[in-house]
Chain A
Amino acid sequence: MLALTNVKAGYGQVPVVHDVTLEVRAGEMVSLIGANGAGKSTILKTIMGAVRPLSGQVHFLDEDITGRPTPDIVRRGIVYVPEGKLVFEPLTVEENLRLGAYLVNDKQVVQERLERAYALFPRLAERRNQRAGTLSGGERTMLAIARGLMSGPRLLMLDEPSLGLMPKLVTEMFATIAALKKTGLAILLVEQRAREALELADRGYVLRTGRIVASGSAAELLSGEVLVQAFLGR
């Protein structure tokens, strides 16, 4: 479904990730693990067309989407839930959700998805007319994910959804992701919490200073030494 081949990308002329080759198959959940500053977000932004790759290709559904404009990529069915819960603070919860369906023109469809989102996150339904800026951290995470789902994606990319959440909420959030996975949605999850992320995933990649240092099934990665190495840099 999604395939990165030898992608080198960065900011300006300075590459941050090197020679990244990575794949997400239909219905599969893949976790991308790495320490702070390893280049995880950069990879996702490159897929979204927000960072221009210096070399290499990105393919989605067998089409070359390398460096295409973001709206085109969203339209093709990839959605990115950015790190840091970038919600539209001055706007209401519902307005945030509607913006998630910005490229959907069928009002009926938008309405249905809105209802589905509220069913998935009843807390958001209660707060639908509240300004997003007044939400708690957990609620913001929910809103960011729900907003991502509004575009009706085939591939959902989550960037550190656990960031800044208290442990109880982290568990809750991973449960939500597990539920989403069951619907058959392909998911690319970026996390620093390697263990939780891999336990949910089918496969995983480990990124260290911009390079993939390990990959394989989630079980393999969990059992091996690679994880420790990746994080401790040995």
Chain B
Amino acid sequence: MSLKTPVTIFLLIAVAGLAAFPHFSDEFYLEFFTHLMVMGIFAMSLDLLIGYTGLVSFGHAAFFGLAGYLLAIVTPQDEAVALWLSLPVCLAGAALAALVIGWFSVRTSGIYFIMITLAFAQMLFYYFNENEALGGSDGIFIFSKPFVGFGDWQIIDLANPTTVYYFVLASLVVCYLLLTVMLRAPFGQVIQAIRANEHRTRALGYDTQRYKLVAFVIAGTMAGFAGYLEAVSTGIVSPGHLHWHNSGLVMMHVILGGMGTLYGPILGAFILGLLHDQVQEVTEHWHLVQGVFVIFVVLFLPRGIAGLVGRLFGRARDLDTEETRVADDDEHKVGAEPNGERTK
């Protein structure tokens, strides 16, 4: 990723802004922004499926909620569980669920893929919703935050909202960079080819089913990571985390934010979340406003909010050298061009 590209500059400014934010913010907004960043990770993971592989999953909340519940399950009543222990367990649980659900789902496509992912997620929702041992429809509290440290020496205090904020911010950046690297590696080239033309991708010698399954597992694991962070920061997990409303919400973040870019879904999570927060204060009719917003974006910003950012920040592109041609609104969607040039 070249520092010359305008979008990168935009992202660096955004990260700097987020890093400075706790100095100006009250506790409410600190926790709210933590939540928005978590949703950003969640949305990014879904975009790996929708925007890059072409798999429209409508059950992505399953992994988000499952990892949260796993944390609640492995956390003892009045004792903290080590992060080194609980995080791998929760991620493995989400990955396993994604492997099973994905194994069935990637055999289908289009509307059937949407339905089967939705069905699996709703099954998990009802399981947790009816499970009284896990709080049923009320959900379950996690009283002690995971412990980060060795022995008695605590490195990071996840009970402190500011610390959690920075922990989540760092996670967001790491997830972004991991996905960026992956999308430029051979694997990323293949999944983008699948989205463009799966038939030809298979004919060229790629076992597209396998690549789709692996993408599904990676996305599910990352969604689980987001769910883990949500559970850590809020201290509560409820069946709502797995509900199709949540799957739909994150899908809205991806689509409004801009499919096929990694920062678009994060922007989507922030803008929709902030809009919700602001509108809530003046009117009860949030869903009406949301509807109008969705219609506006779909009609006037076909490439989502990210497309707008790309246009604003990428204006100087044409005058620039070839390298800056990447400076588009979706710099990661390089297709198969390994040195970053792309189709315009």
Chain A partners chain B: no
- Seen from chain B, the residues whose Cβ lies within 8 Å of a Cβ on chain A are none
- Seen from chain A, the residues whose Cβ lies within 8 Å of a Cβ on chain B are none
